[in-house]
Amino acid sequence: MAGFLNFNYISIFCILIFCCSTLTARPTSSSPTRSLSTNPNFDPETDILGDAQIADDGSSVSLTRPSTSSSGLLLRKSPIRLADATSGNPTSFSTEFSFSISPDDGDGLVLVLFPGNVSSIFPGKGTFGLSLENNFLGVEFDTSLDDNVGDLNANHVGINVANLVSSVVGNVSSINLVLNSGEKLKSWVDYNASSKRLEVRLSRLNEPRPFSPIIAHAIDLLKLWGNKDVFVGISSANGNSQQITSVYSWKLSLRVFPKWMHSLPVDPRGYSEQKHDENFRSHKRNYCPLSILAGLIFVTGSFALVAFLLLFMWAIFISKYEECPVKIPAHPADFRYERIDVAIEKNTTDEKLEHKCFS
């Protein structure tokens, strides 16, 4: 009897080990992968934090889940610096990402740059799931109206500098877009360290990059953070709603410009048009009277030169064909040869003298 019991215990023990090993070896659908290294639409060093999870068979990342108080963060593992470590030259960056926000009244989405500890800034609570108390920079795509921070409406883009009150705000409705329509949108955020200008563009996913930014802000990030390590992330929180924010692609690139290079803005065409208008107004204001005087002198001199040339040509080609006036007698037949008369008189006189001598 004791041997039989021992056999049963051994059998039960073996069955439990087999079941545990089977469950451990089989992946479950409730534990999605947390790696984006195989998705070409994301940088391979992108990390996923909070409620964020890979969805749609790996083609997108859902930052929030269909439940209240959900928040998630996409984070670039390697921090950036606003000054090159070797040369000390200022660093510019450009990032572009595509996203969609479901039709609910959540916080929306924010591109955030911050120095320091990641865990301290992303506790998963608060606006966008962030604890925004440090010297952060945020580009918010806000789908809620909060009068406490002076929101324009529930469909706006703003640039926040160390404050939830936006330094500059753009109305997304002005470009015929709705952030939380569920439509796929694409944004470009560019910072030029040379011109110290941050520009934000927004369009539908398959449309080309807009020529003009929806908002732009003059800011010196190197002065704000110095040579600190700065992390870059995309965060979202749905608050008391079930808003789902999905990200379909995200790329970030850095550019280092020598200090001696001429300062150029991110949007050179827009900047050149602005400078052209300023130069035109300045030229019109400062040099318009001088230009008018110069024009009058030029016109007067041109007329004088033409008149001189006409007179010169007339003197050369016309006057040489004119003949001097000669008085022609009306009756040519009235001419007489007086010389003959004189000769006759002379002969007569000689005869008279000869006659006196012989007498």
Q: Which of 118, 119, 117, 157 is nearest to 138 (CA)?
A: 157
> For 30-75, what is each residue's pLDDT tens digit?
334 466 777 899 998 899 998 999 998 888 999 999 888 899 999 9
Q: What is the mean pLDDT of the chain?
A: 77
pLDDT score for 227? 85
Would you say residue 87 has pLDDT above 70? Answer: yes
DSSP 336: -
| Distance separating alpha carbons of residues 301 and 202, to the nearest angstrom | 57
More confident residue, 359 or 100: 100
pLDDT score for 11? 55
For residues 44 and 50, the answer to whether their CB atoms sit within 8 Å is no
SS (H, E, C) 124-189: CCCHHHCCCCCCCEEEEEECCCCHHHCCCCCCEEEEEECCCCCCEEEEHHHHCCCCCCCCCEEEEE
Residue type, 213: P
> For 170-216, what is each residue's pLDDT tens digit?
999 999 999 999 999 999 999 999 999 999 999 999 999 999 999 99
| Distance separating alpha carbons of residues 301 and 294, to the nearest angstrom | 10
Instruction: Give me the mean pLDDT over the 339-344 stretch.
Output: 51
Look up tokens 């995200």; give the residue.
Answer: 250
Q: Which of 251, 217, 256, 209 is nearest to 234 (CA)?
A: 251
Predicted confidence band of residue 357 (pLDDT cuts 50, 70, 90): very low
Instruction: Give me the mean pLDDT over the 216-244 stretch.
Output: 91
| Distance separating alpha carbons of residues 22 and 14, to the nearest angstrom | 12
Task: Look at residue 330 and give its three-state secondary structure.
Answer: coil
Lowest-confidence segment of 237-251, 252-266, 326-340 by average pLDDT: 326-340
pLDDT score for 306? 85
Which helix or strand (DSSP H or E) is residue 92 part of?
Answer: strand 91-101
Q: Which of 252, 237, 186 is nearest to 214 (CA)?
A: 186
Predicted confidence band of residue 24 (pLDDT cuts 50, 70, 90): very low
| Distance separating alpha carbons of residues 17 and 26, to the nearest angstrom | 14
CA angle 37, 225, 122 (to 5 degrees): 50
Q: Which residues contact 140 (CB under 8 A, 6 or more apart)?
A: 108, 109, 110, 128, 157, 158, 159, 160, 166
Would you say residue 234 has pLDDT above 50? Answer: yes
| Distance separating alpha carbons of residues 234 and 221, to the nearest angstrom | 18
Lowest-confidence segment of 91-100, 236-245, 261-270 by average pLDDT: 261-270
Residue type, 251: K
pLDDT score for 111? 95
Lowest-confidence segment of 17-26, 49-58, 126-135, 230-239 by average pLDDT: 17-26
pLDDT score for 56? 85
Written as one string, the DSSP assignment of 220-281 is: -HHHHHTT--EEEEEEEE-TTS---EEEEEEEEEEEE--TTSPP--SSHHHHHHHHHHHHHH
Would you say residue 259 has pLDDT above 70? Answer: no
Q: What percent of the chain has pLDDT over 70?
A: 66
